Every structure is written in C-alpha cells, then in structure tokens.
Structure 1
Amino acid sequence: MDSRTFGRVTLTLPGLDEPGLYLSSVQSLEGGRGVLQDFHYADAVLRVLDLAGAQLVSGKITGLRAARVHLEQLRLSVVEFDNCDLGSATWRDSKLSRVVFRNCKIMGAALSDLTLDDVLFESCKLDYTTLENLRATGPVVFSQCVLTETSFTGCDLTNAVLDACTLRLTEFGKGRYKDLDLRGNDLSAITGVSKLSKVIIDRAQQVELAQALLAELDVTYGEDLDDR
C-alpha cells in the first residue's frame, strides 16, 4: 500500500496506479444510484459542477475546469484530483478518505464541515479560501501549498501537518491545533498566533511567531515616539 511520511505523520495514499486496477473513462461524475466507482474523469470544462449526495470510490479526476462548483454531502474514498481548477467552490458536509489534491486551484472557496482522513493537498493554491469546521480524524497534510489570506475557523487540525507552505496573512481562528506540525514554514506573517496552543515548531521559529504576534498587536516602539 502506497504511503508517504511528513514529519511524524504517515499518509496512506490512494494507490490508483497499482497493477490490475482498471479505471473506466466516464463523461460525468454522476453514477448510478449515486455511486461512481473505478472511474477516470478527464479534461472536462464545465460552467457548473453541482453534485450532492454522491459517493466517489476509486477514481481519478484530472484536468477538470469548472467556473462554478457546488458540492454537498459527498463521500470520497480513494480518489485523486490532479491539475484541477475548482475556482471559488462551495463544498460542505462531506467525508474524504484517502484523497489527494495535486496541483489544484481552489481559490476563494468556502469549505465547511468536511471530515478528512488520509488527505493530502500537494502543490495546491488555496488563496483566500475559508476552511470552516474541518475535522481531521486521520492524517491530513498541506504540502508546498499557497495559503495566502486563507482562513481556518473552528477547525480541528489535531496532528495535521503544514509542510513548506506559503502562509502570508493566513488566519488561524478559534479551533483545536494540538500537535499541528508547523515546522518548515515561515510563520512571520500569519495571524491568530494566540490561538495556536500546543502546536509543533522548531526553536528557530520562535522569532517568526514573535514577529507575527507583534504585528497583530500593532505595538508602538518607544524610540519611534521621538520622531512624532
């Protein structure tokens, strides 16, 4: 079974390239009785992708471009998204297990009430996205992602990993962050430092967190008062 390790976390990957596994090309993500299995959905360009109450099992979604995306009450198991542009998607109340997003754009999106287990976001752009009430019940990793002005609100990211990500004005709101591994990131421009109780960092990152906290507090330095 294919896996990758990030820090203290080992992810089980979909492993859809294993010998003997055949994926059938499909023209839609709507399967019979709401279940789509052993599929490959490729290079679709859509004005609207609206999917609710479906199960996607053992499949690849590659090169998908959709101007407007609404996803709700989905169950994804052993699925890969590769080089997809989901734009400002609305995605809520869903469960993802052994799912990989690779080289995807999910910018200005609203992701809420998602349960994640063995989920990897790799080299994805999630700028200006709101992630609300996400729950990591197993390994969750954001690796080499751009999270500029992304907001985490009410999330449980216990034991999750952010690895070599761009965290410029990334906001950490109220949530659970115990053992969230932030090593290998520049933390000097994040917001919500006071919420990051019990996270994992390197000692060298103490200075970055101090910079972020001082910027957030908007302090005035005494020596600057003489110039007023």
Structure 2
Amino acid sequence: MNQAVVTRADLLESCSDGLRTLVDCVLDEGDFSGLDLTETTFERCSLRRARFDGADLTGARFLRCRGPEASFIQAELAEAAMTGCDFSNGLLRRARLTSARIQGTKLVGADFTDAGLLGTTFQEVLLSFAKLPGMSFRKAKLQRIDFSDADLRKCDFRLTQFEDCSLRGASLDGSRFEQADLRGADLGGIELRDARLFRGAVISRLQAAELLSQLGLEVR
C-alpha cells in the first residue's frame, strides 16, 4: 500500500478545512514546528525525524505511529495520547505533557529534560536509556515500565507503586523513594552503597537478600 506524503502546506490546508485525521501518511523529516494541531489524530503514520517543535498538539492522538528521532521540543501535548508507537530517541525537551496518556510505546533514549509531566500516565512503556532528570512520579502507579539505564537523577518516586518495572542500571542519584513500593521493580545493578536511596521504601525479602549478598551475608 502506497502511503501519502504530507508536507507542511498539506497539513496546514487539511487543518484549515477541519480535517484533522491522518491515516497511513508519511511526514518523515517534515518541519511542522509551531502549527496548531490540536485534536489531530495521526494513525499508522511515519514521522521519522519530523519536527513539531513549539506546535500545539493539545489532545492529539498518535496511534501505532513510527517516529524515531522525531522532535517535540517545547511542544504543547496536554491530554495527548501515544498508543502503540515508536518515538525512540525522540526529543521532548521542555514539552508539556500534562495529563497525557502514553501506553505500549517505545521511547528508548528519548530526552524529556525539563518536560512537564504532571498527571502523565505511563503504561507498558520502554524508557530505557531515556533522560528524565528531576521528573516527578509521586503517587503514580507505574505498570510495566522499563527504566533500565535511564537518567533518573533527582526524580521524585515518593508513594509510587511499581508493577513489573525495571530500574536496572538506572542513574538514581538524588532521587527520593519514601513510602514507594519497590517490590515489583527489578533493582539489578544497584549496589549496597546506593541502597540509602531507598530509605523508607518497601522492598521484598529477595531484593534485600540480593543487596546484602554484596556483603557476603545470607538471608534465610
């Protein structure tokens, strides 16, 4: 099936006509920065290296899209949804994702530095090697999130519940985990000297045993 190639002019014309649904379209390497794309739906679209910097994507929906290295720097993504997408190595620096929903999506190596994630919901998301310094996940319920090798320095995980998640090899300097439930998190690669980060959190006996094994102690 041939996919329609969409240019900036095409998208402007489509939106001005009130047509805000794109299906099986190619927007690769296009520059859509600053456009008003509120409530626009992108379904099965290719967005490789497309630029949406500063665009208004409030309420936009990305369904099964492929957009490695797409750029959303300082974009407005409040109440947007990303479902079944691949935005690996995407740039979301200073983007606003207030109350956005991200599910079943690959964001490997994505850069969320200084992004606004208040009320953002993550479920079944690959965030390995992603940059998320200083983000707040306070009181969140994280399900099937892979944070392995991610930059999570100074993140707030207080009162957060982890279910089938991974923190293996993540950078956690300065992060807070008071009253977090870490029993559903893979803490592989965490050294005993870093265990102080989890002060006040709940961990399992197996996790405690793995940490203490570094001292040659055995928990029975």
TM-score scaled by length of structure 1: 0.72
User: Cα distance, 1:27 vs. partner?
Assistant: 1.2
Moved over 6 A (4+): none
**Aligned residue in 1 for 2:181:** 197
1:135-214 correspondence runs (5 A): 135-137=121-123, 139-153=124-138, 155-187=140-172, 189-198=173-182, 199-202=184-187, 205=190, 207=192, 209-212=194-197
8 Å CA contact retained: 1:163, 1:185: yes
Seq. identity, %: 17
1:45-60 correspondence runs (5 A): 45-60=31-46
8 Å CA contact retained: 1:131, 1:155: no
Q: Secondary structure at the match of 2:36?
A: strand
With over 3 angstroms needed to count, the CA separation of the structure-2 counterparts of 1:174 and 1:110, relative to structure 1, is: farther
Which whole-Å deviations, capped at 9, do the CAs of 1:46-97 have from their partners, x for residues lacking one? Answer: 4513211121111111222344132111222110122222112221212221
8 Å CA contact retained: 2:159, 2:181: no
User: Cα distance, 1:37 vs. partner?
Assistant: 0.4
Which has the bigger relative contact order, CA under 8 A and spacing at least 6? 1
Question: 1:130, 1:201 → 2: CA distance?
Answer: 26
8 Å CA contact retained: 1:132, 1:155: no
8 Å CA contact retained: 1:159, 1:178: yes
TM-score scaled by length of structure 2: 0.74
Amino acid at match of 2:116: T
Question: 2:33, 2:100 → 1: CA distance?
Answer: 24
With over 3 angstroms needed to count, the CA separation of the structure-2 counterparts of 1:63 and 1:86, relative to structure 1, is: same
8 Å CA contact retained: 1:37, 1:59: yes
Q: Which runs of 5+ in 1 are unaligned?
A: 1-20, 215-228
Question: 28-37 or 63-72, which moves further after superposition?
Answer: 28-37
8 Å CA contact retained: 2:110, 2:129: yes
User: Cα distance, 1:41 vs. partner?
Assistant: 0.6
Question: 1:207, 1:201 → 2: CA distance?
Answer: 15
Q: Does 1:77 align with 2:56?
A: no
Question: 2:28, 2:48 → 1: CA distance?
Answer: 5
| CA RMSD, 1 decimal | 2.6
Q: Does 1:65 align with 2:51?
A: yes
Q: Secondary structure at the match of 2:23?
A: strand
Q: Secondary structure at the match of 1:56?
A: strand
Q: Secondary structure at the match of 2:45?
A: strand
8 Å CA contact retained: 1:77, 1:99: yes
Q: Which runs of 5+ in 2 are unaligned?
A: 200-220
Question: 2:193, 2:164 → 1: CA distance?
Answer: 18
Question: 2:105, 2:83 → 1: CA distance?
Answer: 6
Question: 1:203, 1:165 → 2: CA distance?
Answer: 13
Q: Secondary structure at the match of 1:127?
A: coil
User: Cα distance, 1:175 vs. partner?
Assistant: 4.4
**Aligned residue in 1 for 2:215:** none
Give 1:44's match in structure 2, choosing from 30, 36, 44: 30
